[in-house]
């Protein structure tokens, strides 16, 4: 199981039988549920046309609880707990389902990441389950995988950072004017930090590849 920040293809979803607890997104007066019916073009258009930063809300304990009740064994991957309440709500739902059925097994993994980082962990879990490992082995190997994983990414646009107040408007306008692209990464605690920056997307991608080489 994952929250909907996890990027999944239909092939991966079907191969590993992955269920999703959706986040919600508010842009101005428009409300979006991040599920299979989400109109992404409409969401992106709303974000571009709004002077306000989009606001996201994590899935509450309810959607996780509903999923846990369907299965005897549940492995869950969430957004970094430093970025969202998704992890805490998944853990709360675990405590609730344990009160109803003490024999149910639920393990919640804090990804310390987001997006493709969650996808990689979900993929690893799927492979370990397919390999027929027992629960303890799956947990041990996945925790080691999460510990070793590092997150790096490039932002194509600074708009939402500026709208959310995480970057000053003047600084943001200057950076946008000179086409400055930040290379960002996750800290060991799961927060986001500036790793490097470059002028233009191609240079930023080269910087990203250099950082991968240095860390890898």
Which helix (H) or strand (E) element contains residue 171?
helix 169-177
Q: Rounded distance, CA 173 to CA 157, Å?
A: 11
20-36 pLDDT tens trace: 999 999 999 999 999 98
pLDDT band at 215 (very low <50, low <70, confident <90, very high): confident
Mean pLDDT, range 176-203, rounded to an integer: 86
pLDDT for res 45? 93
Which residues have a Cβ under 8 Å from the Cβ of 172 and sit 6 or more positions away?
158, 161, 162
Which helix (H) or strand (E) element contains residue 143?
helix 135-148
Q: Work out the number of other CB atoms within 10 angstroms of the CB of residue 124.
A: 19
Residue 168 pLDDT > 80, yes or no?
Answer: no
Mean pLDDT, range 153-173, rounded to an integer: 69
Q: Work out the number of other CB atoms within 10 angstroms of the CB of residue 158.
A: 18
pLDDT for res 89? 98
Q: Is 203 exposed, middle or buried (0-12, 13-18, 19+ CB in 10 A)?
A: middle
Residue 171 pLDDT > 70, yes or no?
Answer: no
């Amino acid at each position: 199981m994952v929250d909907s920040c996890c990027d999944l293809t239909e092939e991966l979803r079907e191969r590993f039988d992955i269920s999703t607890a959706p986040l919600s997104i508010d842009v101005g007066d428009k409300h979006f549920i991040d599920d299979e019916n989400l109109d992404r073009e409409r969401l992106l258009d709303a974000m571009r046309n709004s002077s306000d930063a989009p606001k996201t809300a994590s899935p509450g304990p309810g959607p996780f609880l509903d999923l846990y009740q369907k299965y005897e064994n549940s492995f869950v991957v969430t957004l970094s707990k430093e970025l969202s309440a998704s992890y805490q709500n998944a853990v709360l739902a675990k405590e609730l389902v344990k009160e109803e059925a003490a024999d149910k097994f639920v393990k919640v993994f804090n990804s310390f990441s987001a997006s493709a980082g969650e996808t990689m962990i979900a993929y690893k879990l799927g492979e370990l389950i397919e390999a027929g490992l027992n629960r303890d082995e799956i947990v041990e190997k996945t925790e080691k995988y999460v510990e070793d994983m590092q997150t790096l990414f490039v932002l194509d646009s600074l708009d939402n950072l500026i709208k959310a107040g995480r970057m000053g408007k003047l600084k943001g306008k200057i950076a946008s004017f000179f086409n400055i692209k930040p290379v960002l990464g996750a800290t060991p605690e799961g927060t986001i930090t500036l790793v490097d920056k470059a002028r233009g997307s191609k240079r930023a991608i080269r910087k990203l590849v250099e950082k991968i080489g240095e860390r890898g």
